[in-house]
Structure 1
Amino acid sequence: MSTKIPNGFRLAEGTDLAAFTDRVRSVIDPLRDQEDVKLLAIETAKFVTPPGWPETRSCPAPPTPSTPNGLTRSPR
């Protein structure tokens, strides 16, 4: 099995892996959090309609009124 990694990078010899990981996380975590907030806002906006705008989302129809015994009322 080859240990070559095409187009890969190697850490310099003697690099403290734990320190390197902490340094990378300090840069990556805020970026990931920012992207998570953007995705959450986009997905949440799909369920919110601003006041005065037409209803555009697809919602299930409201339940049909029924009598206390659970039977649906017939129109008169």
Structure 2
Amino acid sequence: MFAAKEELSKIQQESEVLTSEVSDEAIDRKARKLMPAAVYKEIAELQEDVKTEKHRRSELREVMELKRMSSLRPLLEELEKG
């Protein structure tokens, strides 16, 4: 039983190490070291653009959902009246 707990603890520690090695920050640090500054800067700017566009798309999706819900309200009220 003790050996199993010890083995589980060892596996969890190894998992944490591997997870930290593949985190976005770790990958970013490694890329920064390996790439020329101009290339890294261009990639970072493109990543920021993608992030901005995803956020914008998410906001637009919320607006469309609100419009869809508000357009259904009169129909639901009419159905309630019978």
Interval of TM-score (by shorter of Structure 1 and Structure 2):
0.3 to 0.5
Q: TM-score, normalised by structure 1?
A: 0.38
Structure index of larger Rg: 1
Q: Which protein, 1 or 2, shows the higher relative CO under an 8 Å CA cutoff with sep ≥ 6?
A: 1
Higher helix share: 2
Task: Report the TM-score when normalising by structure 2.
Answer: 0.36
